[in-house]
Amino acid sequence: MENSSKSKALIAELIGTYALVLSIIMAVSIYVGVATEAGGQLLPNVVVPFIAFVHGFVLFVMIQTLGAVSGGHFNPAVTLGLLSIGKIKGADAAKYVTVQVIGGTLAGVTLALVLNDLGTSVKFGSPSIDPSISLASGIVLEAIFTFLLVWTVVATAVNPNGPKEWAPVAIATSLALGVFLIGSLTGASLNPARAFGPDFTNMLFGDGGFGSVRDFVLAYVVGPIAGGVLAATLYNALYIEKPAPTAPAPSEASPL
């Protein structure tokens, strides 16, 4: 990839991650924060599906508009999953992850500047493990549904025989499905950049971010990355056909 193309890809990842994270945490702040500030009762069966739709809509739009430029990762778990099967070089993956984290952080700071009171009431959209489940359960759930997300990415966008025309819809739907099912339990981050941005913002502008750093790293960094890498490697091993090895030319063949 030429330097100009690499720069365009990095800018696309920055913009896409920024738009993704900002849309998600704005939805949380507006629709959960308003009720919290007013002392009202939340209706999870209404709020969670709405926020799930926001996840799906914004990811679909970003993949459609920027996927051809950068591959439309917008998520370190996706990037590292693709790195594990050789679909992106290590140096490029490091740059992708860096701009993704920057994009998520800029989204959090933007929210703090424009919706500070509402943002503060919900920790700027930071994900957290619900007290009804254990940390271990939260880690497993984040890993499972990131697995589903990255599995869909590899199956539709990476597999040469995959239905590429359906990739944006399928990938966006897989993210929305995760939020539908575990949004009320873990926040359904499924994306270390999405988790880091609002937590870092809460540290700067709110009542302190990350809570237990160990728990944050395990649930929102290790869990999603492990799920993403496992999904990519497993799908690649099972379903992506490898080119048959070519026979050596007669002059290259061993005389033995």
Which pLDDT belongs to residue 250? 56
What total number of domains does the chain contain? 1
Is residue 247 assigned to a domain?
no
- Per-run averaged pLDDT (10 residues), the chain, 256 residues: 87 98 94 59 68 96 97 98 98 98 98 85 91 97 98 97 96 98 96 97 88 94 98 97 68 44
Which pLDDT belongs to residue 127? 95
Task: Tokens 């959960």: give the residue.
Answer: 32
Is residue 250 assigned to a domain?
no
Is residue 210 assigned to a domain?
yes
Residue 183's domain comprises: 3-239
Q: What is the CATH number of the domain that holds 7?
A: 1.20.1080.10
Is residue 185 assigned to a domain?
yes
CB 129 within 8 A of CB 210: no
Which pLDDT belongs to residue 33? 61
Is residue 140 assigned to a domain?
yes
Which pLDDT belongs to residue 42? 55
Which pLDDT belongs to residue 46? 61
CB 12 within 8 A of CB 98: no
Fill in the amino acid letter for 161: N
Which pLDDT belongs to residue 18? 98
